[in-house]
Amino acid sequence: MNGTEGCGSGIPDIARQARAAAQQLAGLSTEAKNDALRLFKEELVKQRGLIQAANAADKREGEAAVSAGAMAPSLVKRLDCSGAKFETLLKGIDDIIGLPDPVGRCELSTQLADGLDLYRVTCPIGVLAIIFESRPEAAVQISSLALKSGNALILKGGKEAMRSNRALYDALAAALKRAPGVPATSVQLVDTREEVTSLLQCDKDIDLVIPRGSNALVRSIKDSTRIPVLGHADGLCAVYVDEECDLQQAVSIVEDSKMNYCSACNALETLLVHQKVAASFLPLLSERLAAHSVQYKADTRSLPHLSAQCTQPATQEDFHTEFLEPTMAVKVVDSAQEAIGHINAHGSHHTDCIVTSNSQTAETFLQFVDSAGVYHNASTRFADGFRYGFGAEVGISTNRIHSRGPVGLEGLVIHKYRLYGRGHVVGEVGKKYGFTHVHRDPRDTPTVDSIQTRQHP
């Protein structure tokens, strides 16, 4: 199948319209993109009542599903986009407006030969299709990042948040209609998995698919498309408590990593403790976490130090499990090296932390743990685009390329090489003058505008 030929009914048009929109978006000024974002915020405020009503209906249905045992309570919390969450969402748009435009930035500047200038300049990826979980605020964050980075977007959210996503999208659609120069089809929303299946065939018009959710989702998307996929999958995150550390600090980091929001992908799932501090640290931790009713799946060496009523013997499987609830697997290790080996073998290369007062041990951990985020004495919950200062995030990439860890504006651009000559041809440059390769500081020509105003023929 080629291009849009195999797309389901209606979907080829959506993909083609997105491609056409992308071509226009790529040439938009920063001001035009920021104006569109301002209008988006204005429409969200104007339509707040409708959005809250839609969100309340989704939450009611979610709560009924929780009562029926069909949904975890934390997922209803995830569905919420009212009150303070709505305010944060509006503030997030302001933050993105305030960030520098990621497009048109000069990354490399070289004079190849007299009068022959090469520049590497950032540009949008093109058309993105992003599939995400039932978290309505993600729809706003992802759309805002896509607009600011000049990418067209096709969104598909989780079914439990369908009404909220539609209401938020209506606000965005109203803003796009009013935004000068911004195509109405810059962001489009689809609702069903069937539509996603069709979109995955549109390899001519979609440049990148970002599935944000379970491993099963990412695997199934990768198996079903020829479009490049940037997976945002599970976080099997570990904290290693070293023999040399402040035990109270370690307790606080473990508590926050696990309980700040236990169903997030950046929450702790595995705790590794050096054998020299197991007997002192684990009872302290157990006492602190009793308030959260945390359950432990403990290996034979950690088991005696944890409260008996909350602890079960761990199976091998527990060290490969993302619990997403107040449960953690606990293992005692003999060295930092063993902890590093365990994390690289069992983790998901998302975010892992060492708690230690020995800076050399910390450096070894940060160098050899092969994860998108490697932390020293800080909670794994910091793995987040907003907390990293990216304004918001598309999600946390568990792919190695082209973007790794929290994906913000920088993760949504690629680059082009611009070459300015005066009739240069390779044979002549090679024979007559040779290549000079004078590398200039790209800060001398930081943007595409400053490149254009240089003296090019």
Ligand X SMILES: N[C@@H](CCC(=O)OP(=O)(O)O)C(=O)O
Ligand Y SMILES: NC(=O)C1=CN([C@@H]2O[C@H](COP(=O)(O)OP(=O)(O)OC[C@H]3O[C@@H](n4cnc5c(N)ncnc54)[C@H](OP(=O)(O)O)[C@@H]3O)[C@@H](O)[C@H]2O)C=CC1
Nearer to ligand X, 230 or 336 (CB): 230
Nearer to ligand X, 318 or 393 (CB): 393
Binding to ligand Y in span 141-160, by CB under 6 A: 156-159
Cα–Cα distance for residue pair 82/298, rounded to 1 Å: 39
DSSP lists the bridge partners of residue 447 as: 105
Least distance between ligand X and beta carbon 381 (Å): 6
Binding to ligand Y in span 154-213, by CB under 6 A: 156-159, 193, 196, 212-213
Binding to ligand X in span 145-164, by CB under 6 A: none
Say how many CA atoms lie within 13 Å of 74 toward its Cβ: 12
Binding to ligand Y in span 15-54, by CB under 6 A: none
Q: What tokens does 135 get?
A: 């978290």
Binding to ligand Y in span 78-137, by CB under 6 A: 131-133
Beta sheet of 208-211, edge-to-edge order: 187-190, 152-156, 127-131, 208-211
Pairing of strands 295-298, 116-124: unpaired
Cis amide linkage into residue 402, ω under 30° from 0: yes
Which residue is it, tokens 């009068």?
A: 115
Cα–Cα distance for residue pair 315/299, rounded to 1 Å: 8
Least distance between ligand Y and beta carbon 114 (Å): 49
266 binds, among ligand X, ligand Y, none (CB under 5 to 8 A by kind): ligand X
Cα–Cα distance for residue pair 185/19, rounded to 1 Å: 9
**Environment class of residue 329 by beta-carbon count within 10 Å: exposed (0-12), middle (13-18) or buried (19+)?**
buried
Binding to ligand Y in span 310-329, by CB under 6 A: 322
For ligand X (CB under 6 A), the number of binding residues is 10
Least distance between ligand X and beta carbon 213 (Å): 8
Strand extents, DSSP E, 299-429: 311-313, 327-333, 351-355, 373-376, 395-397, 405-407, 413-420
In the list 32, 72, 264, 374, the residue contacting ligand X (rule: CB under 6 A) is 264
Nearest to 239 by CA among 230, 231, 249, 225: 249
Cα–Cα distance for residue pair 11/367, rounded to 1 Å: 45
Binding to ligand X in span 74-103, by CB under 6 A: 78
Nearer to ligand X, 116 or 161 (CB): 161
Cα–Cα distance for residue pair 4/17, rounded to 1 Å: 12
CB contact set of 124 (below 8 Å; sequence gap of 6+): 22, 25, 26, 103, 149, 150, 151, 412, 413, 414
Site string for ligand X, 352-381 (x = CB under 6 A): -----------------------------x
In the list 171, 217, 282, 369, the residue contacting ligand Y (rule: CB under 6 A) is 217
Most distant pair of Cα atoms in the chain: their distance:
83
DSSP lists the bridge partners of residue 396 as: 406
Binding to ligand Y in span 219-258, by CB under 6 A: 220, 232-235
Nearer to ligand X, 368 or 388 (CB): 388
193 binds, among ligand Y, ligand X, none (CB under 5 to 8 A by kind): ligand Y
Site string for ligand Y, 391-420 (x = CB under 6 A): ----xx-x----------------------
Site string for ligand X, 186-205 (x = CB under 6 A): --------------------
Single-letter amino acid, residue 340? I
The yes or no reply on residue 384 touching ligand X (CB under 6 A) is yes
User: Which region among 121-129, 147-155, 222-230, 256-264 touches ligand X (by CB under 6 A)?
Assistant: 256-264
Pairing of strands 373-376, 327-333: unpaired
In the list 71, 130, 265, 451, the residue contacting ligand X (rule: CB under 6 A) is 265
Query: Which parts of this chain interact with ligand X (CB under 6 A)?
Result: 78, 133, 135, 261, 263-266, 381, 384
Query: Which parts of this chain interact with ligand Y (CB under 6 A)?
Result: 131-133, 156-159, 193, 196, 212-214, 217, 220, 232-235, 265, 322, 395-396, 398
